[in-house]
């Protein structure tokens, strides 16, 4: 089977290797215990839209020897009472004379429930001496929110993506992951998944969140299998985990519905689904 490994731009924060748990997609109460249910986007206003607390909006004295390397980071936290996803941080890079020499973005492909936090990393050009976060965007249900920190303004627009409850689309059952006996990498695991539906599904991608010892997200990994999984059929998927992870969580998955010719993306943390045809 072909496998695809994609890493979000999130800095890996050092932590000892530890025992981890994986929340099965069929156990919704365990996943929901990390946060509240999705808030109503109808209630959002300019004040409540400022949902993200950023530990360091400006980072100075950047090393010029690590061009395009993600070697600086800051901690962000969802301080709202609703879930936010598709978080995009926009920042400017400055030289030693405080001139803007580049504008960049860093994407966090993890839904943050209220009071959850993550570490997000930034790359930079060779002569950057500092960076400053100037704005951020996120998705809340059927709304797209843009918060401009530089001009202290907020823009809330309708999100065109079709979002609905994921209950009838959560069709994968999963067992606890286990270590490969023949693995030289102690952080290589396998997990067995089963198609509990009556549909043929393919292009299955698991989204795994890695957390540090403080329960903060440090990275998210997409792991894909391209084989068709028939009804009631199961398969094993290998999960590489970084040495910095203290714990991992299954935070979402996607698959292709062969009959409907659609891609189904399930967010386990909000129990919402996005369907693309």
Q: Which of 142, 158, 174 is the last residue of a domain?
A: 158
So what's the pLDDT on residue 67?
A: 56
Token pair of 56 as six digits: 């360091």
Distance CA 151, CA 183 (A): 52
C-alpha to C-alpha distance for 263 and 204, rounded to whole angstroms:
10
CATH number at residue 71: 2.60.40
- C-alpha span between 113 and 209 (Å, rounded): 13
My answer on whether 147 and 250 are in the same domain is no
Residues 153 and 47 in one domain: yes
Looking at the structure, tell me whether residues 98 and 136 fall in a common domain: yes
Same domain, residue pair 16 and 104: no
pLDDT band at 141 (very low <50, low <70, confident <90, very high): confident
Residues 138-154, mean pLDDT to the nearest whole number: 93
Residue 222's pLDDT is 94
| Cα–Cα distance, 112 to 160 (Å, whole number) | 21
Looking at 95, 129, 158, which one is the last position of a domain? 158
Looking at every residue in the chain, the average pLDDT score rounds to 82
Weakest-pLDDT range from 56-70, 80-94, 192-206, 231-245: 56-70
Q: How many domains in the chain?
A: 2
Q: Is the pLDDT of residue 143 over 50?
A: yes
Q: Does residue 137 sit in the same domain as residue 168? A: no
pLDDT, average across residues 209-224: 92
Asked if residue 182 and residue 86 are part of one domain, the reply reads no
Same-domain pairing of 242 and 173: yes
Same domain, 10 and 67: no
pLDDT single digits (tens) 64-93: 555 555 578 999 999 999 999 999 999 999
Q: What is the pLDDT of residue 240?
A: 86
SS3 104: strand
pTM: 0.77
Same structural domain for residues 12 and 93?
no
181 by Cβ neighbours in 10 Å (0-12 / 13-18 / 19+) ranks as exposed
Q: In three state form, how does the secondary structure of 241-252 look?
A: CCCCCCEEEEEE
Range of the domain at 170: 3-32+163-276
**Both 57 and 97 in a single domain?**
yes
Between residues 203 and 244, the one the model is more confident about: 203
Which band of pLDDT confidence, cut at 50, 70 and 90, is reported for residue 110?
A: very high
* Beta-ladder partners of 250: 208
- In percent, the amount of the chain with pLDDT more than 70 equals 79
- pLDDT value at residue 41: 53
Same domain? 176 vs 216: yes
Q: Which of 131, 158, 185 is the last residue of a domain?
A: 158
Q: Where are any strands of DSSP class E within the chain? A: 3-7, 52-54, 58-59, 72-78, 85-94, 100-108, 117-122, 130-140, 143-148, 153-158, 163-165, 172-174, 178-179, 188-195, 201-211, 217-225, 234-240, 247-257, 262-267, 272-276
| 138 and 244 belong to one structural domain | no
Q: Which one is predicted more confidently, 126 or 27?
A: 126
How do residues 6-27 score in pLDDT, each as one tens digit?
Answer: 444 343 333 333 333 333 333 4
């Amino acid at each position: 089977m072909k496998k695809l490994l994609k890493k979000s731009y999130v800095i890996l924060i050092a932590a000892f290797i530890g025992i981890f748990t994986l929340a099965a997609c069929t156990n919704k109460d365990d996943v929901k215990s990390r946060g509240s249910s999705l808030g109503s986007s109808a209630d959002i206003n300019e004040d409540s839209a400022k949902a993200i607390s950023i530990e360091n909006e400006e980072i100075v004295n950047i090393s010029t020897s690590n061009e395009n390397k993600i070697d600086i980071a800051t901690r962000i936290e969802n301080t709202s009472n609703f879930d936010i996803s598709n978080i995009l941080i926009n920042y400017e890079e400055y030289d030693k004379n405080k001139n803007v020499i580049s504008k960049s973005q860093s994407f966090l492909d993890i839904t943050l429930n209220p009071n959850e936090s993550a570490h997000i990393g930034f790359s930079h050009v060779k002569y950057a001496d500092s960076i400053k976060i100037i704005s951020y965007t996120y998705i809340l249900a059927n709304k797209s929110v843009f918060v401009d920190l530089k001009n202290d303004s907020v823009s809330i627009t309708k999100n065109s993506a079709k979002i609905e409850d994921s209950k009838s689309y959560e069709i994968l059952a999963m067992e606890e992951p286990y270590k490969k006996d023949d693995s030289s990498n102690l952080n290589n695991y396998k997990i067995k998944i089963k198609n509990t539906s009556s549909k043929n599904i393919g292009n299955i991608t698991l989204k795994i969140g890695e957390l540090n010892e403080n329960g903060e997200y440090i990275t998210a990994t997409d792991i894909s299998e391209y084989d068709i999984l028939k009804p009631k059929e199961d398969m094993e998927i290998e999960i590489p985990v970084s040495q910095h992870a203290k714990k991992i969580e299954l935070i979402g998955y996607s698959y292709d519905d062969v009959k409907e010719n659609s891609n189904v993306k399930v967010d386990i943390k909000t129990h919402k689904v996005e369907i693309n045809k």
